[in-house]
């Protein structure tokens, strides 16, 4: 029997398998807004390295301890840091004039201080502020001054927010990656996400989601230090004081409420800090989560390789005696053995697939063709899974960010062409399918009126033709308008690539034609409605050959009407056969 993959080994495709099997209830609950995300440094690997920050702190103290003018104040601070690192200060006194990077003990010091970071931040210097090591010695503002672009995790969270699946995020991170991802994908529309650091921000207008930065925010602290510096929480004393400090009372109430009303998906957060464990204990006192939880999804899910000590503490605190009845089963039900990157990408892909399937079902049920929707839905799932195979870490890279950016771009291109007959006005933005959760799509009149259910039909038919060996589908040949939403190539010798456009109406096709999209006379245009078919006239081939292909190499533009095919197809098999015939690749 093969061993289950570890969190390092598991692929996005394999996470999707989990979401279709033992974690299906979890995935469905996340899609419909039942879960809040609790995120930590594990999803912000491009933030300044903790080891580098530790080294900056030690070197700052070392330099001043070695200066006769400041040695009296800084030598005790340096000795405290070395003692925390299990180094005898007397043994290294001769090296204090040299940078820490040159010390033989460098690696050992960094490794030992890594898990004592809060103690390092608690080192005090006479006459200085309590957060002096963080604010001045480390220079935390300068450390975060030039942030990297958002990674796959942050982009995926932003998509889940825009698609209405995530309305609440609790973050222990100081960085602004989630905010940057939301700004990028929303086209910098203000107010999409309500960011809360200071309690006054709880009174701001609500956004699609709320981000509770309960340990502070370096972006806000840099811009307005007089207001936001006090909320940067990292030292041992601050963490211990946090549950009782008046300045955090409003945030505490909000966080306790979140742990009480929403299930918890933990991403890159060990929950080892005392203040967070206190939050879950207080939430239990307000209204505890049951175990066993069937038929509902478990209330706490951890994206880890194994349950961490702090997370185990939370399970014991939250479930009390119920934990003792079957701890192994509880761990199995709450451990999604995959890191946040794979989990979040898989959630996005599953959500979009489920929404398209639901929209397709609603559309075809309204016309009395629900059996066709049921027959086509598995093809959307296969398409989803086949695309997930490409969600890999490229050679020489450490993340799937390149895949996430490309996937967002291709999806937004396809959906913009379908909706408006034009390329996205902002190439970096994300085209939202619908801000309604799957369960609320039936009430989303805009999504229904946009023909998005027929888009699901088109994608399912394209996938079935691909699976049947009729054609291959690849990304557009380039970024220009004539390249379409994707490229199709027939599976026969000598076949050529053809751009494919998916459009909701003849009006969009006319707009595309006016802008030169079909000028190469080889486009395939798949229409959701039948207006083009009516304009051309019944009985006329969907293909309109304008010149002799044998002499010029041009094959002519092909127009296919899904509404027309649905009107004359008794079942899914007949629909697929008619679609293949009309495509005429």
Alpha helices in 11-105 (DSSP H): 12-20, 24-31, 50-65, 71-84
Rounded average pLDDT over 191-203: 97
Tell me the percentage of the chain whose pLDDT exceeds 70: 96
pLDDT tens figures, 284-303: 999 999 999 999 999 999 99
Closest C-alpha among 305, 311, 338 to residue 323: 311
Which phi-psi region, left, alpha or beta, contains residue 127 (left: φ > 0; alpha: ψ -120 to 50)?
left
pLDDT tens figures, 480-526: 999 999 999 999 888 899 999 999 999 999 999 999 999 999 999 99
pLDDT tens figures, 59-84: 999 999 999 999 999 999 999 999 99
pLDDT at site 545: 40
pLDDT at site 512: 97
Given pLDDT bands bounded at 50, 70 and 90, which one contains residue 220? very high
Given pLDDT bands bounded at 50, 70 and 90, which one contains residue 536? confident
pLDDT at site 3: 72
Model pTM score: 0.95
Given pLDDT bands bounded at 50, 70 and 90, which one contains residue 539? very low
Rounded average pLDDT over 311-332: 94
pLDDT at site 542: 47
Is residue 584 predicted with pLDDT exceeding 80?
no
Given pLDDT bands bounded at 50, 70 and 90, which one contains residue 426? very high
Sketch out the chain's domains with CATH numbers: 12-46+149-341 (3.40.50.1220), 50-143 (no CATH), 352-583 (no CATH)
With tokens 């969600």, the residue in question is 391
pLDDT at site 585: 63
Contact of 350 with 384, CB cutoff 8 Å? yes
With tokens 């503490």, the residue in question is 313
pLDDT tens figures, 74-127: 999 999 999 999 999 999 999 999 999 999 999 999 999 999 999 999 999 999
Q: Cα separation of 43 and 151, whole Å?
A: 8
Provide the sign of the torsion angle of the four alpha carbons 433, 436, 438, 441, taken in this order. negative
Q: Cα separation of 516 and 512, whole Å?
A: 6
Is residue 550 predicted with pLDDT exceeding 90?
no
pLDDT at site 2: 63
Is residue 544 predicted with pLDDT exceeding 60?
no
pLDDT tens figures, 146-183: 999 999 999 999 999 999 999 999 999 999 999 999 99
Q: Cα separation of 184 and 46, whole Å?
A: 17
Q: Cα separation of 295 and 288, whole Å?
A: 17
pLDDT tens figures, 127-146: 999 999 999 999 999 999 99
List C-alpha distances in Å: 147 to 49, 141, 362: 12, 11, 44
Is residue 552 predicted with pLDDT exceeding 50?
no
Q: Hey, what's the torsion of the CAs at 23, 25, 26, 28, to 10 degrees?
A: 120
Question: Among 182-196, 199-213, 242-256, 523-537, where is mean pLDDT lowest?
Answer: 523-537
Average confidence score pLDDT of the chain: 94
Rounded average pLDDT over 460-486: 97
């Amino acid at each position: 029997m093969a061993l289950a993959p570890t969190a390092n080994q598991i692929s996005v495709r394999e996470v999707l398998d989990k979401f279709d099997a033992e974690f299906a209830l979890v995935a469905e609950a996340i899609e419909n807004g039942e879960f809040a995300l609790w995120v930590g440094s594990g999803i912000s690997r491009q933030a300044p390295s903790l080891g580098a920050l530790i080294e900056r702190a030690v070197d700052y103290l070392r330099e001043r301890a070695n200066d006769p003018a400041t040695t009296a104040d800084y030598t005790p601070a340096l000795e405290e840091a070395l003692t925390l690192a299990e180094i005898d200060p007397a043994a290294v006194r001769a090296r204090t004039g040299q940078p820490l990077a040159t010390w033989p003990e460098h690696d050992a010091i960094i490794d030992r201080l890594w898990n004592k970071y809060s103690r390092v931040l608690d080192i005090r210097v006479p006459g200085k502020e309590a957060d002096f090591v963080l604010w001045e010695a480390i220079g935390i503002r300068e450390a975060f001054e030039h942030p990297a672009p958002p990674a796959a995790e942050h982009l995926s969270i932003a998509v889940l927010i825009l698609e209405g699946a995530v309305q609440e995020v609790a973050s222990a991170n100081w960085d602004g990656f989630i905010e940057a991802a939301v700004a990028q994908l929303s086209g910098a529309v203000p107010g999409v996400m309500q960011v809360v650091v200071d309690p006054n921000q709880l009174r701001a207008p609500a956004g699609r989601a709320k981000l509770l930065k309960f340990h502070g925010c370096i972006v806000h602290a840099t811009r307005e230090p007089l207001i936001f510096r006090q909320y940067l929480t990292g030292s041992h004393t601050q963490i211990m004081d946090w549950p009782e400090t008046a300045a955090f009372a409003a945030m505490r109430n909000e966080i306790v409420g979140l742990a009480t009303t929403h299930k918890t998906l933990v991403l890159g957060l060990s929950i080892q800090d005392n203040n967070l464990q206190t939050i879950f204990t207080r939430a239990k006192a307000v209204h505890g989560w049951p175990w066993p939880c069937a038929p509902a999804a478990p209330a706490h899910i951890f994206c880890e390789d194994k349950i961490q000590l702090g997370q185990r503490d939370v399970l014991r605190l939250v479930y009390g005696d119920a934990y003792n009845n079957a701890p192994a089963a509880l761990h199995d039900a709450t451990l999604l053995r995959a890191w946040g990157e794979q989990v979040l990408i898989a959630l996005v892909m599953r959500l979009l697939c489920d929404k398209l399937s639901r929209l397709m079902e609603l559309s075809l049920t309204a016309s009395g063709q629900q059996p066709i929707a049921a027959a086509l839905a598995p093809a959307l799932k296969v398409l989803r899974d086949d695309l997930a195979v490409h969600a890999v870490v490229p050679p020489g890279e450490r993340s799937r960010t390149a895949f996430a950016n490309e996937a967002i771009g291709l999806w937004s291109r396809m959906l913009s062409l379908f909706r408006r007959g034009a390329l996205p006005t902002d190439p970096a933005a994300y085209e939202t399918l619908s801000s309604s959760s799957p369960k609320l799509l039936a009430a989303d009149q805009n999504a229904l009126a946009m023909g998005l259910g027929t888009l699901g039909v088109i994608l399912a038919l394209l996938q079935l033709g691909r699976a049947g060996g009729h054609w291959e589908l690849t990304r557009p040949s380039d970024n220009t308008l004539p390249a379409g939403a994707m490229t199709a190539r027939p599976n026969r010798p000598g076949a050529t690539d053809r751009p494919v456009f998916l459009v909701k109406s003849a009006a969009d096709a006319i707009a595309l034609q006016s802008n030169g999209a079909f000028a190469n006379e080889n486009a395939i245009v798949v229409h959701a409605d039948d207006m083009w078919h009516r304009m051309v006239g019944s009985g006329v081939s969907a293909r309109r050959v304008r010149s002799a292909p044998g002499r010029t190499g041009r094959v002519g533009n092909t127009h296919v009407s899904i509404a027309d095919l649905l009107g004359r197809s008794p079942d899914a098999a007949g629909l697929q056969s008619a679609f293949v015939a009309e495509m005429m690749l």
